Amino acid sequence: MQSFQLQYSQPLFRPPSEAGSVILQVTDGCSWNKCGFCEMYSSKKFKIKNIDVINSEIDLLAPYAEQVRKVFLADGNAMVLSYSKLMRILDKLNYTFPKLNRVSAYALPSDIKSKTDKELETLSNAGLKLLYTGIETGDDDLLRIINKGETMQSSIDSLVRARKAGIKLSVMILNGLGGRRFSNQHAINSAFVVNKIQPEYLSTLVLSFPFGIEHFKKRLNSEFIQMSTLELIEEMGNFISRLELDSTIFRSDHASNYLVLKGVLNRDKQKLLTRISNVLNNKESNGLRPEWLRRL
Domain ranges, ordered by start, for the chain: 1-106, 134-296
Q: Across-strand partners of 130? A: 104, 168
Q: How confident is the model at residue 1 (pLDDT cuts 50, 70, 90)?
A: very low
- Asked whether 172 and 132 are in contact (CB, 8 A), the reply is yes
pTM of the model: 0.92
Q: Which of 255, 235, 104 is nearest to 178 (CA)?
A: 235
pLDDT value of residue 37: 86
Task: Judge whether residue 236 has pLDDT over 90.
Answer: yes
| Alpha-carbon radius of gyration of the chain | 19
What is the spatial distance between Cα 41 and Cα 36, in angstroms, rounded to a whole number?
Answer: 12
- At the topology level, CATH places domain 1-106 in Transcription Regulator spoIIAA (3.30.750)
Q: How confident is the model at residue 254 (pLDDT cuts 50, 70, 90)?
A: confident
Q: Which of 180, 204, 188, 295 is nearest to 253 (CA)?
A: 204
| Half-sphere exposure for 214 (CA within 13 Å, toward CB) | 0
Summary mean pLDDT of the chain? 92
Q: What is the pLDDT of residues 163-190, one digit of tens each?
A: 999 999 999 999 999 999 999 999 999 9
Q: Which of 121, 101, 114, 8 is nearest to 54 (CA)?
A: 8
Other C-beta atoms lying within 10 Å of the C-beta of residue 9:
14
